[in-house]
């Protein structure tokens, strides 16, 4: 409960130092989190008043200051006014921003804590800035529990806004090793960009864990409950993470109505809300291979095509029932190593996308700080994020995370098992797209020569796209439809 009493001004208006717009699950939990922190008095507003009333009735201890319209909401806030929007992303956010800019003044701060596309945030920040009001797009991860108990927060926006907002966000964020999981990521859309990449990595991590489960189940015949024990055991080591922890919980769950493992009665079609797709689309535009994330998105898409899957179920291929590893325990350990290595690749690719985004949009993003604020409160929180922070602290210019000494050692330990697992999966006809594409990416990075040379030759043949040579400077073209001599060319493509 807030220890700060509500101050009342001469006109009788209560003064709150922070407001939340949107009293659905995320907004109400975030408002309660804010209200529970020393020094905060929280104003709340929702488009339809019923939700505000419900929250007021359910949480008298929060001493919320309710508002029935935007003008009243603005009047309850002390200056500079600070309001966090937690409403439906897209049109809902735009509608609230429009209304708030009518009642707020220059110097006030509007924070969008929803899951906005970062380019929308760039657009909104520019438009709101013209009114003299600060606009901050802040990625907030951790779902409803995180919002209530301490999320990981990724704010963008101006340095001026961060001065006021920083202490408030630090007070409600998750804390790891005494450090709050929030940092000023960069200007305008930087926060939502990093949140988007966070969600992309989350997609990859979940898919990799799902592939590990599938391989162990089909390879060893273990039950979901037995596999839950394996994940619980993995969670005591290098793989310790929120997603591994909840995987064990889900696998252990028994369906009350059938007595079967819950995982066996859930329809095997995975949905998505868009941030994974945004990550892949953005990375394609930036020219960054995020193959682990892309395969995770594609795997969900494939799962959600029941007609195609039914029509293809009798296509020729090995029967996975016939797959029995000679040494099941060694196979399970191999899967663990494959998961660890593939996970490192997913993070490495995600950080590549952050570096490229920062370059493209002129953000000064500290990669080590991002790994730090992902250590708590968010869905991808994991023990090994400390290693990423260390890697960037040792070498801020690291060109690929996977080349940091610690991760080189991980790859040295894991790569043989990783290859065996991918080969076993292929031979048994068990789809492991994220495991195998991560391995192909790893080998692509390692290769002395890539067949891209042949691709350049093909491009030059049909489109005169020209090529460079390994032995001299310049740009060249072979006269493929002429006498096939080589000429020096100006690359116009």
Least Cβ distance, residue 142 to ligand NAP (angstroms): 7
Find out whether 143 is annotated in a ligand binding site.
yes
Binding mask 127-166 for ligand NAP (x = CB under 6 A): -------------x--xx----------------------
Is 229 among the residues that bind ligand NAP (CB under 6 A)? no
Classified as helix, coil or strand, 420 is helix
Q: Give the nearer residue to ligand NAP in terms of CB position, either 27 or 137.
A: 27
Is 48 labeled as ligand-binding?
yes
Within 390-429, the residues that bind ligand NAP by CB under 6 A are none
CA 384/CA 381 separation, integer angstroms: 9
Query: What is the Cα–Cα distance from 170 to 373, expressed in whole angstroms?
Result: 11
DSSP 8-state class, residue 13: -
Three-state secondary structure call for residue 46? coil
88 binds ligand NAP (CB under 6 A): yes
Report the distance separating Cα 68 and Cα 72, nearest Å.
7
DSSP, collapsed to helix, strand or coil, labels residue 34 as helix
- Pick the closer one to ligand NAP by CB: 23 or 401: 23
Q: Tell me the sheet residues that pair with 109.
A: 82, 134
Number of residues interacting with ligand NAP: please give it, by CB under 6 A: 23
Contact between 28 and 56 (Cβ < 8 Å): no
87 annotated to bind ligand: yes
State the sign of the Cα–Cα–Cα–Cα dihedral 125, 130, 131, 134.
Answer: positive
Q: Where is 85: in which H helix or E strand?
A: strand 82-85
Name residue 77's beta-bridge partners.
16
Window contacting ligand NAP (CB under 6 A); options: 45-53, 304-312, 341-349, 478-486: 45-53
In degrees and rounded to multiples of 5, residue 457 shows phi and psi of -60, -45
User: Exactly one of 42, 55, 84, 96 binds ligand NAP (CB under 6 A); which one?
Assistant: 96
Instruction: Kindly tell me which of 144 and 245 has the beta carbon lying closer to ligand NAP.
Output: 144
Question: Which residues lie below 8 Å from residue 282, measured CB to CB, with a gap of 6+?
Answer: 118, 193, 196, 353, 357
Q: Cβ closer to ligand NAP: 139 or 261? A: 139
**Helix 190-220, helix 275-286: angle, nearest 10:** 110
Spatial contact of 169 and 182, defined as CB atoms under 8 Å apart:
yes
**281 among annotated binding-site residues:** no
Task: Say if residue 274 carries a ligand binding annotation.
Answer: no
Q: Prior bond to 160 cis, omega within 30? A: no
If binding is defined by CB under 6 A, does position 92 make contact with ligand NAP?
A: yes
Indicate the residue among 239 and 270 with the shorter CB distance to ligand NAP: 270
Q: Which is nearer to ligand NAP, 24 or 246 (CB)?
A: 24
Does the annotation flag 115 for ligand binding?
yes
From the number of C-beta atoms within 10 Å of its C-beta (0-12, 13-18, 19+), residue 13 rates as middle
Under the criterion CB under 6 A, does residue 89 sit at the interface with ligand NAP? yes
Which residues are marked as active site? 195, 202
Stretch that binds ligand NAP, among 42-50, 234-242, 299-307, 333-341 (CB under 6 A): 42-50
Is residue 80 reached through a cis peptide bond, with omega within 30 degrees of 0 on the bond before it? yes
DSSP 81: P
Question: Binding mask 283-302 vs ligand NAP (x if CB under 6 A, - otherwise)?
Answer: --------------------
Give the H or E element holding residue 44: strand 42-45
Has 23 been labeled as part of a binding site?
yes
Site string for ligand NAP, 21-40 (x = CB under 6 A): -xxxxxx-------------
Closest CB to ligand NAP among residues 90, 429: 90
For the CB of residue 146, give the shortest distance to ligand NAP in the complex, in Å. 8
Residue whose CB is less far from ligand NAP, 51 or 383: 51
Q: Which residue is nearest to ligand NAP (CB)?
A: 114
Is 46 annotated among the ligand-binding residues?
yes
**Residue 66 CB partners (closer than 8 Å, separation 6+):** 43, 44, 45, 52, 53, 56
Stretch that binds ligand NAP, among 19-27, 334-342, 396-404, 412-420 (CB under 6 A): 19-27
From CA 348, how far away is CA 102, in angstroms rounded? 43
By the rule CB under 6 A, 86 interacts with ligand NAP: yes
Q: Does 71 bind ligand NAP (CB under 6 A)?
A: no
477 annotated ligand-binding residue: no
In DSSP terms, which residues pair with 8 in a beta bridge? 14
Tokens of 19: 């407001």
Pick the stretch among 18-26, 391-399, 453-461, 474-482 that binds ligand NAP (CB under 6 A). Answer: 18-26
Q: List the binding residues for NADP(+).
A: 22-27, 46-48, 87-89, 115
Q: List the binding residues.
A: 22-27, 46-48, 87-89, 115, 141-143, 198-199, 203, 273, 300, 459, 465
Residue ranges that bind ligand NAP, judged by CB under 6 A: 22-27, 46-48, 51, 86-89, 91-92, 95-96, 114-115, 140, 143-144
């Amino acid at each position: 409960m807030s220890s700060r009493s509500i101050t009342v001004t001469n006109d009788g208006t209560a003064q709150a130092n922070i407001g939340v717009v949107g009293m659905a699950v995320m907004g109400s939990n975030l408002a309660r989190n804010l209200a529970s922190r020393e020094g905060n008095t929280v104003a709340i507003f929702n488009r339809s008043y019923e939700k505000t009333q419900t929250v007021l009735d359910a949480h008298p201890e929060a001493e919320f200051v309710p508002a029935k319209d935007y003008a009243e909401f603005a009047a309850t806030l002390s200056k500079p006014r600070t309001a966090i929007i937690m409403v439906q992303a897209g049109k809902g956010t735009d509608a609230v921003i429009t209304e708030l800019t009518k009642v707020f003044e220059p110097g006030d701060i509007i924070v969008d804590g929803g899951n906005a596309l970062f380019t929308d945030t760039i657009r909104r920040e520019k438009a709101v800035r013209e009114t003299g009001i600060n606009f901050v797009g802040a990625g907030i991860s951790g779902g409803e529990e995180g919002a209530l108990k301490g999320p990981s927060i990724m704010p963008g926006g101006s340095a001026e806004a961060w001065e006021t907002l920083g202490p408030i966000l630090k007070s409600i964020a998750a804390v790891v090793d005494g450090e709050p999981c929030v940092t000023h990521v960069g200007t305008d859309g930087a926060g939502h960009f990093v949140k988007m990449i966070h969600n992309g990595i989350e997609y990859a991590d979940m898919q990799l864990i799902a592939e590990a489960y599938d391989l162990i189940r089909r390879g060893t015949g273990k039950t979901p409950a037995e596999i839950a024990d394996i994940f619980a055991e993995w969670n005591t080591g290098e793989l310790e993470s929120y997603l591994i922890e909840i995987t064990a919980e889900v696998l252990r769950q028994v369906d009350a109505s059938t007595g079967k493992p819950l995982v066996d009665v859930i329809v095997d079609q995975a949905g998505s809300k868009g941030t994974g797709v945004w990550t892949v689309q953005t990375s394609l535009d930036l020219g960054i291979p995020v193959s682990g994330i892309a395969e995770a998105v594609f795997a969900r898409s494939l799962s959600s095509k029941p007609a195609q899957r039914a029509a293809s179920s009798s296509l020729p291929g090995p029967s996975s029932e016939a797959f029995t590893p000679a040494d099941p325990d060694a196979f399970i350990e191999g899967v663990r190593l494959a998961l660890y290595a593939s996970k490192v690749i997913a993070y490495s690719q995600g950080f590549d996308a952050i570096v490229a985004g920062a370059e493209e949009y002129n953000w000064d993003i500290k990669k080590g700080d991002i790994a730090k604020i992902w250590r708590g409160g968010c869905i991808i929180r994991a023990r090994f994020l400390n290693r990423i922070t260390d890697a960037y602290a040792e070498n801020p210019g690291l060109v690929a995370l996977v080349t940091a000494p610690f991760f080189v050692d991980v790859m040295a330990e894991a790569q043989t098992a990783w290859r065996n697992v991918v080969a076993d999966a292929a031979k048994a006809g068990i789809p492991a797209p994220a495991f195998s594409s991560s391995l192909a990416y790893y080998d692509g990075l390692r290769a002395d020569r890539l067949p891209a040379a042949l691709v350049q030759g093909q491009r030059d043949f049909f489109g005169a796209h020209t090529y460079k040579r390994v032995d001299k400077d310049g740009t060249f073209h072979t006269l493929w439809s002429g006498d096939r001599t080589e000429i020096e060319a100006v690359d116009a493509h």
